[in-house]
Amino acid sequence: MAWNEPGGGKDPWGTGGNNGGNRGGNNQGPPDLDEALKQLMEKLNKMFGGKGGGNSNKGNNQGAGGIIGVLAIVGLLFLGFSSVYTLDEKERGVILRLGKYDRTEGPGLHFKWPMAESLTRIETTTVRKENIEERMLTEDNNIVEIELNVQYRVADPVSFALRIENPRLTLQHAAQSALRHDVGSTAMDPILTSGREATAEQVKLRLQSYLDRYQTGIQLTNVNVKDARPPSQVKAAFDDVQAARQDKDRLISEAESYANAIVPQARGAAQRQLEEANAYKEQVVAKATGEADRFTALLTEYSKAKQVTRERLYIDAISDVYTNTSKVLVDVDGGNNMMYLPLDQIMKNMPQSNATGSSAVNVSAITDQVLNEIRSRQNDRRKESR
């Protein structure tokens, strides 16, 4: 017999039965679990229309009915909460009814039939990233290591969720194929230096065509070649080649700079010589024309007064000769000696001409003085000879 039944055994906590007292006269033992469970079942039976009391069989049936009612309430609550869902602004919901596509829901609060419909949440505005690093063979049979960064978003949530099993793996394989195609048709140098942007653009176009053909629902936003380098085994040799190429470009630039500096100078010097030659030509032609005109004018005057013109020409010629020397020897008719005329001293004693004067005036004065001196000496010698 249980200790907590009426008239049962001794209470292990030192209490009596239901009607027994305790040591101190107070009921301080643990609660009667069976009694508490019985009372709970009776309350549930009353809630679901049952009646309290009765025999033990009826109490067991009523307890089972109460448990079923509680489970029913819990199930209904669960189904109610699982049927209502909310989508964010960045999400779209793909609804399948009995495994078949039914509709696509936008942001907001929505309802779906429990057990019959399933929801797949797809983020359509989030930009996703994939990094692909591959070692590939170029057109000139060189090996390069390329790191590609692909950024994309979901443009068609239905295709993204239903038409491909693994969108991320599909994108990786398609990107590798597109990259391998473009790298295999390009030499190594453009890929490693200035051709990265062109390679990335070609890969983007080709990869987008692959994704559209596979109906993945993916829209590429950016494709970038993050790094392109030779394998580590040949990096030292490649660095030497790059250094030599840079030296070549530097020398070519220096040569072009020198050519750009020296060619204009040479052209300027050539143009200057041409201008000087043209100026000299014009000068000679003008001088010859002037001499011809002067000779023509002189011939006209000579025909009018031959003696005077002849003597004047002689004097002008002597003046031209005297301007280039400071000493003159004169052979006097009837004399035995050559007469020396100190023209340098005579020119020193001549008064300086003013700022507007010319050397021709001084020469003419000297010539007149010399002629007067010669005539004077000739007259003296004639007198002595008489």
CA angle centred on 230, ends 229 and 234, rounded to 5°? 145
Task: Decide which of 230, 260, 294 is a domain's last residue.
Answer: 230
For the question of whether the overall pTM of this predicted structure is more than 0.95, the answer is no
Does a structural domain hold residue 13? no
285 located within any domain: no
Q: Which of 185, 214, 230 is the last residue of a domain?
A: 230
Domain range for 42: 37-120
Q: Is residue 245 part of a domain?
A: no
Tokens of 357: 């004067």
Q: 134 with 199, same domain?
A: yes
Ordered DSSP codes for 141-190 = S-EEEEEEEEEEEES-HHIIIII-S-HHHHHHHHHHHHHHHHHHTS-HHH
Does 160 lie in the same domain as 216? yes
Confidence at residue 152, expressed as pLDDT on a 0 to 100 scale: 95
Predicted confidence at residue 275, as pLDDT, reads 93
Confirm if 174 and 248 have CB atoms less than 8 A apart: no
Residues 140 and 172 in one domain: yes
What's the CATH number where 192 sits?
Answer: 3.30.479.30
Per-residue confidence (pLDDT) for residue 295, from 0 to 100: 85
Looking at the structure, tell me whether residues 149 and 114 fall in a common domain: no
Q: Are 31 and 20 in contact (CB under 8 A)?
A: no
Q: Clarify whether residues 172 and 84 are in a common domain.
A: no
Residue 206: predicted pLDDT: 94
Q: Domain for residue 262, yes or no?
A: no
- pLDDT on residue 24: 41
- Cβ contact 187:262 at 8 Å: no
Asked whether 96 and 102 are in contact (CB, 8 A), the reply is yes
Q: Are 98 and 161 members of one domain?
A: no
In a domain, 370, yes or no: yes
Same domain for 139 and 226, yes or no, is yes
Answer yes or no: is 30 within a domain.
no
Q: Is 282 domain-assigned?
A: no
Instruction: Give the residue from 195, 230, 265 where a domain finishes.
Output: 230
Same-domain status, 359 and 326: yes
Q: How far is 232 from 241, CA to CA, in rounded Å?
A: 15
Q: Are residues 168 and 114 in the same domain?
A: no
Full pLDDT tens readout for the chain, 386 residues: 444 454 444 444 444 444 444 444 444 455 566 676 677 667 666 655 554 444 455 555 555 555 676 666 766 666 666 678 888 888 888 989 888 888 888 888 888 887 788 888 888 888 999 999 988 888 888 888 899 999 999 999 999 988 888 999 999 999 999 999 999 888 888 888 788 888 899 999 999 999 999 999 999 999 999 888 888 777 777 778 778 888 999 999 999 999 898 999 999 999 999 999 999 999 999 999 998 998 888 888 888 888 888 888 888 888 777 777 666 566 556 555 555 556 556 666 655 544 444 454 565 666 677 677 777 777 777 777 66
Residue 68 resides in a domain: yes
- Structurally, how many domains does the chain consist of? 3
Same domain, 101 and 134: no
Task: Specify whether 105 is located in the same domain as 186.
Answer: no
Both 45 and 75 in one domain: the answer is: yes
